[in-house]
Amino acid sequence: MQIREATINDIENIKKIYLQAFESSEAQVVSDVAVNLLKEDPPVKVISLVAIEGDEVVGHISFSPVFFKSSNEHFGYILAPLAVSPKFQKNKVGSSLVKYGLDVISNIGSFIVFVYGDPKYYSRFGFKVDLAKEFIPQYALQFPEGWLALKLNSAVLPEGGKIVCVDSLDDPNLW
């Protein structure tokens, strides 16, 4: 398996992965987020990665920048969304995409990565609910136990505060 940056030429394959991997009630919304993030051009680059097996795109992940609401300062990333084609699941494709992305972000020198997802899955990478608590997203969370964060390096973390995401994630239905 190889991992590379996604391009707009991958859009149709990325859509297919999300439509197959997620339940029909949320598949279209999540697929739209993945595609919109790839097209969006925020002040700090979105990291959008695909996993390739043979000549097939079998997984996708995005990490987009987060900013403090008060100062607009960029200080971390949020992982969203992530999916692996059903027939390639449980082969470490998802884990490889997460770890690859975290390495890229760590090398950039960013402090922290957030995710709003299943704690049972993301805890295996070290994401923790306690760390995320001080960082308040722009919308009330339907599942606060799924708001998690991972500290990436030895830098001193900012104290916390209200945070904002890029436009593609600025939708109350996603939170």
Ligand X SMILES: CC(C)(COP(=O)(O)OP(=O)(O)OC[C@H]1O[C@@H](n2cnc3c(N)ncnc32)[C@H](O)[C@@H]1OP(=O)(O)O)[C@@H](O)C(=O)NCCC(=O)NCCS
- Residues contributing to the site for ligand X (CB under 6 A): 21-22, 82-84, 89-95, 117-118, 120-121
CA distance 130 to 149: 8
Q: Min. distance of Cβ 58 from ligand X in angstroms?
A: 9
Q: Min. distance of Cβ 161 from ligand X in angstroms?
A: 25
Place of tokens 């964060």: 149
Residue 66: phi and psi, rounded to 5, are -120, 155
Q: How far from 48 is each of 73, 121, 157, 175, CA to CA, in Å? A: 21, 20, 25, 21
Q: Min. distance of Cβ 165 from ligand X in angstroms?
A: 17
**Which residue number, 92 or 162, has a Cβ lying nearer to ligand X?**
92
Longest CA–CA separation in the chain, Å: 46
**Which residue number, 39 or 92, has a Cβ lying nearer to ligand X?**
92
**Are 135 and 109 within 8 A, CB to CB?**
no
Q: 3-state class of 71 per DSSP?
A: coil
**Which residue number, 93 or 152, has a Cβ lying nearer to ligand X?**
93
Q: Min. distance of Cβ 116 from ligand X in angstroms?
A: 9
AA letter at 108: I
Q: Shortest Cβ contact with ligand X: which residue?
A: 94
Q: Min. distance of Cβ 99 from ligand X in angstroms?
A: 9
**Which residue number, 63 or 75, has a Cβ lying nearer to ligand X?**
63
Question: Which of 138, 30, 155, 9 shows the shortest CA–CA distance to 84?
Answer: 30
**Which residue number, 3 or 93, has a Cβ lying nearer to ligand X?**
93
